[in-house]
Structure 1
Amino acid sequence: MSGHIAVRRFPVLTVSTPRMHVRRLDAADADAVSEIFADKQTERWLPFAREAGQIDGLAWCTEMAQERRDSGGGDHYGVVRREDDELVGCLWTKRTDWAGRVTEVSYAIAPQARGFGLAAEAVDAVAIALLLEHGFQRVELRVAPGNTASRRVAEKAGFTYEGLLRNAGYVHSGRVDLEVWSLVLADLRQ
């Protein structure tokens, strides 16, 4: 016995709906990703401390995505609108528990693409693919109270509210509670 634990790799994931497709990010997406993360409304709710500074789109699309893949923790994706092939959002999976087959999905949508249901559509498509095609048993969303847009995304994507994790997260303004929402395989059979 070698004493090494094999690291699971997050599945290569590409999903499509009639209005958009979700694919892995690459270096060519860096400028669009930087713009999405630089938006003030997006920054307000990002789970990154203000001290971390502005997210570098190139690093997010390349080395940070590769590091997350290599660790088995998740991946970084782009949400591409079909009508004009514009990258209008980012989705990322994290906190993957391979023994429990659980992962968390987070997202950010460009200001010009908000209000059209693309976030819910992308989250729903990715969650269903993870559950049905890749053997996951649970996909989670965590939402800071007050982020009503994200709560609506969770509801529209078919997630179930489970409760509040007290002082479990942080946003640019500091520590926050987090609502836990989930989608499990049994939800798709109802």
Structure 2
Amino acid sequence: MIGQVAVRRFPELTVSTPRTEVRRHLAPDTEAVSAIFADRLTQRWLPLAEESGQIDGAAWCADLARQRRDSGDGDHFAVVRREDARVVGCLWTKRTDWGSRLTEVSYAMASEARGFGLAAEAVIALAIVLIMEHDFQRIELRVAPGNVASRRVAEKAGFTYEGLLRNAGYVRGNRVDLELWSFVTADLH
């Protein structure tokens, strides 16, 4: 195998907080995931072309998650509310840079789970585990200006606003600026 480089894979992990559990998706999650991504408010902020249609929960939980893992780019996770064991959100990591030990996290929450701090609780728990147990140095969030709820998640999770990335993203097929937020090793102290 001279000349071949092994692909780094995202660590398999489960993270528990007082109110949530963050774990890889399971086959029974597909219906909840489809509903989360079909929600109008979630649709408003997804980085997809308008004509791309709905995200299929079965593909998200299995094929798309496996492709992201196999490429070394990241992983997909369910946010499970502990009080009733319901999947109430999705977290996913992407743009993982193994040399720099950084990754970006994104999230979408079910409408009935918004406004209770569950997204921030799950995001910071994932960030801390990635830094403390898996040697990541930097976790990033990118937020489209105007997505006030997502900005509040970043703030509540303890991420630091670093600035505006001009014309760096797209939402429903339109180019947008993105706010860059980060959580780094030094933020643990």
TM-score, normalised by the number of residues in structure 1 = 0.98
Which residue number corresponds to residue 126 of structure 1?
126
Which residue number corresponds to residue 112 of structure 2?
112
Q: By how many angstroms is 1:28 displaced?
A: 1.2
CA RMSD of aligned residues (A): 0.9
Counterpart CA distance in 1 for 2:106 and 2:51 is: 20
Which residue number corresponds to residue 5 of structure 2?
5
Structure 1: runs of 5+ lacking an equivalent = none
SS in 2 for 1:83: coil
SS in 2 for 1:146: coil
SS in 2 for 1:183: strand
Which residue number corresponds to residue 159 of structure 2?
159
Once the two structures are superposed, the pairs formed by residues 1-190 of structure 1 within 5 Å of their partners are 2-172=2-172, 174-189=174-189
- Answer whether contact 1:44 1:173 (CA < 8 A) is retained: no
Counterpart CA distance in 1 for 2:55 and 2:20 is: 24
Counterpart CA distance in 2 for 1:87 and 1:14 is: 14
Counterpart CA distance in 2 for 1:112 and 1:134 is: 32
Partner AA of 1:50 in structure 2: E
List per-residue Cα deviations over 1:73-125 (Å, max 9, x = no partner): 00000000000000000000000000000000000000001000000000000
Structure 2: runs of 5+ lacking an equivalent = none
Counterpart CA distance in 1 for 2:47 and 2:125 is: 22
- Answer whether contact 2:48 2:173 (CA < 8 A) is retained: no
Deviation larger for 16-25 or 47-56: 47-56
Partner AA of 1:4 in structure 2: Q
SS in 2 for 1:6: coil
Q: By how many angstroms is 1:12 displaced?
A: 0.5
List per-residue Cα deviations over 1:31-75 (Å, max 9, x = no partner): 100000000000001122222211010000000000000001000
Deviation larger for 59-68 or 1-10: 1-10
Counterpart CA distance in 2 for 1:102 and 1:116 is: 28
List per-residue Cα deviations over 1:1-53 (Å, max 9, x = no partner): 71111100100011001111000002211110000000000000112222221
Show structure 1 runs of 4+ deviating over 4 A.
none
Q: How many residues align?
A: 189
Counterpart CA distance in 2 for 1:63 and 1:116 is: 31
List per-residue Cα deviations over 1:144-165 (Å, max 9, x = no partner): 0000100000000000000011
- Percent of aligned pairs sharing the same letter: 73
Counterpart CA distance in 1 for 2:115 and 2:173 is: 24
